[in-house]
Amino acid sequence: MILTANCFSVVPNLTPNVGCKSRSQVLVRSLSVRDQKVVYVENEQISYEVVGKTRKEDVLSSLEILWDDGFGTQSSKDFFKLAEEFIKPDGGPPRWFCPISCGRPLKDSPILLYLPGLDGLGLGLLLHEKALGRVFEVRCLHIPVQDRTPLEDLVQFVEETVRIEHALSPKKPIYLVGDSFGGCLALAVAARNPTVDLVIILANPATSFERSQLATFHSFLEFLPNLLYGALSLVFLSAIRGLGDILPKDTLIWRLKLLQSAAAYANSHLQAITAEVLILASHNDKLFPSKDEAQRLSRSLQNCRVFLLRGNSHQILLESDYCLLTIIKGSTKYRRNSYHNLVKDYIPPSMSEYMKEAKSHWLYHLATSPVMHSTLEDGTIVSGLAGIPSEGPVLFVGNHMLMGLDLFILFLHFLKEKRIMLRGLGHPENLELDNNVENGMPHISVLLRVFGMLPVTAMNMFKLFSTKQYILLYPGGAREALHRKGEVHKLFWPEQQEFVRMAAKFEATIVPFGSVGEDDISEERSGRGGC
C-alpha cells in the first residue's frame, strides 16, 4: 500500500508513527494494479472508493505534442516552504514517497528513484516532478532529520528496492538520480549490482568531499559551540541555502560523517560500475569542485557523459534553467526497455521546451522574417501550412540553406501551426554528444534530439514510415549546408535516391520543398562587406 498525504505518498511499513495527526485529502493506493482504493479524509470523516483494475485504455502509450510539463511553475522558494513541514520529527525510519504532482506515467514507464543530498528531505526534484512523472514511476527517498541509519543500512535499503524492481521487470532499466550525497549512494548501489540494468544520473555528486569546503567545516564542527553554529553555518553553507536551518548541529555532524564514508566507498569502487552514467555539474559550484570532479569521474567510469550547466549553486536541480527531463531526452538516456528505440521511446517536445527554443531564436526570426507557403490539392498556393497532408506517413525532401539554420525554423513552425512533429534525419556525426557543455548552453545535438532528429539510417527511416510519422530529409546533407561561395542554391544530392523506393513501399506522400532567402542575404552582405 502507498499512503499519500497532500503532496507526497509513503510506504505504510515505513510510515511515521501512528500518533501523527491525519491530514486532509489522503490517498491510499495499493502497489498492485489489481486492487486500488482511494480514501479521502476530510474533517476526520472517511469515505473511500474502490477503483478496481486499471484499464489499459486509462494508461497513455504516448504524450501529445506540446504537452504541459509543468516546468517553471515552482521554484526553490517552494522547496523551503515544504521543507518546514518535512523537517518536523515523526519518529519514522527512511522511506520512499511518491509526489502527487507526478501523476500517472506512460505505459511501461521505467522507475526512477531519487536519492537526496545532505538535507535528506527528498524534495530536490520539486521543479521537475510533473515532467518526470509523465514518463517515469517516480519515488523519492526521505531520511528524517533525527534518523541515524548508518551508511551500510542506507545502501542496503536502496539496493533492496532496486533488486525487487529488477525482479518484477527485468527488461526495464532502473534510474537512480543521485543529488550530492545521493550521488555517492547511487554509485555505491551501482558498484554492488553490476548485473542490474541501471541508468545513473548524478547532480553535483559529492565524491569530492575531501576537497570541498565541507571537509574543513566538518573538522571542527564538533567543537563548535551551539551559539556559533547558526552564524558559522551561514558562512560555510552559503552555497546550500538554508541547510543550517534545515539540519540542527548534531544531525549535520552525523550527515557529514555519512558523506565522508559514502564518498570514500564510492571512489574505491568506481571500476566496478558498469551502468550508464550521466553527470550534471554546476559550472562554478561554490561548495564542491564539481566541474573538475565530473571530468575526473568521466575518466574513471566505463560509460559516462558529462554536462556542465550554468550556475554557481550546488543545488543544481533547484536552480538549473534546464528541465531534467529535457537533458535526459537530449542525451538519449531515456528508454523503456533494455535497448534504445529512438522511435518508440521518443518523447515529443513539451510546451516549455518549445517556448524556450522559440525565445532563443527570436533574433534570427526578426532578422529573416520567415514566411512559409504550401500548395493545396487543387494546386492553389496559400500562405501557411494548410496544404500539408493531415495524415502520415509524409516525407519532406528539400535543400539546405547556409549552415542549415532553417532547420529549427521548420521545426518550430510545424509545431506552432500544425502541431506536427517533424522527425528529421541527420548525419550521425552531427548528432554526436560531446562531454562538455559550457556556460549552460547545451550542444546543438542535444536540441536536435529533443526536437525529433535521429541518425539517417535505413532502419530508422523504416521505423518512422511504419509508424506513419512526418519525416524531414535533406539528401544534400552537411555538404549542402556548408556550401562554398558561388554554390548558392546548388544541390548536392546523390544520383540514386533510395528513399523514394521505401516511401513508395509505405505509400507515403512525398512533399518536395525549397528554401530560399538566407543564402541571398548572406551573399549580399558578403559582397558589401568584402568578406
Surface-to-core class of residue 424, CB atoms within 10 Å of its CB (0-12 exposed, 13-18 middle, 19+ buried)? buried
Lowest mean pLDDT among 25-39, 272-286, 496-510: 25-39
Question: Which of 91, 86, 145 is closest to 118 using CA atoms?
Answer: 145
List the Cα angle 364/370/374 in 5-degree steps.
150
242 and 169 part of one domain: yes
- Would you state the cell numbers that stand for residue 212, as one nine-digit string? 570541498
> Could you tell me if residue 343 is inside a domain?
no
Q: Is the pLDDT of residue 519 over 80?
A: no
Global pTM value: 0.85
**What's the domain range around 128?**
76-331
What is the average pLDDT score of the chain? 81
Count of domains in the chain?
A: 2
Q: For residues 260 and 314, state if they share a domain.
A: yes
Per the structure block, which three cell numbers stand in for 295?
A: 571530468
pLDDT at site 484:
66
From CA 218, how far away is CA 196, in angstroms rounded? 35
How sure is the predictor about 113, in pLDDT bands with cuts at 50, 70 and 90? very high
Contact in structure between 71 and 128 (CB atoms under 8 Å): yes
Does one domain contain both 499 and 441?
A: yes
More confident residue, 238 or 309: 309
User: Could you tell me if 324 and 429 lie in one domain?
Assistant: no
Domain-embedded: residue 186: yes
Q: Where are the beta strands (DSSP E) in 180-296?
A: 198-203, 276-282
Say what the pLDDT of residue 399 is: 83
Clarify whether residues 382 and 432 are in a common domain: yes
Boundary residue ending a domain (331, 362, 391):
331
State yes or no: pLDDT of 79 exceeds 70: yes
* SS3 label, residue 9: strand
**375 and 260 inside one domain:** no
Which range among 61-65, 69-73, 216-220, 386-390 shows the weakest confidence by mean pLDDT?
A: 216-220
Task: State whether 274 and 363 are in the same domain.
Answer: no
The pLDDT of residue 478 is above 60: yes
Give, for 28, the enclosing helix (H) or strand (E).
Answer: strand 26-29
Tell me the C-alpha distance between 508 and 322, whole Å. 36
CATH number for 140: 3.40.50.1820
Asked whether residue 449 is domain-assigned, the answer is yes
Q: Is residue 412 part of a domain?
A: yes
| 467 and 510 assigned to the same domain | yes
Indicate whether 236 pLDDT > 80. no
Q: Where among 302, 331, 360 does a domain terminate?
A: 331
Among the listed residues 311, 321, 310, the one whose alpha carbon sits nearest the alpha carbon of residue 355: 321
pLDDT at 160 over 80: yes
Which of 398-412, 448-462, 476-490 has the highest average model confidence (pLDDT)?
A: 448-462
Residue 198 to residues 39, 168, 337, Cα–Cα distance (Å): 34, 14, 11
pLDDT of residue 248: 87
How big is the chain by its Cα radius of gyration, in Å? 26
pLDDT digits (tens, 9 = 90+) for 284-294: 888 899 999 99
pLDDT band at 35 (very low <50, low <70, confident <90, very high): very low
Residue 145 included in any domain = yes
Evaluate if residue 391 carries a pLDDT over 90. yes
Is the pLDDT at 507 greater than 50? The verdict is yes
C-alpha 464/C-alpha 161 separation (Å) is: 36
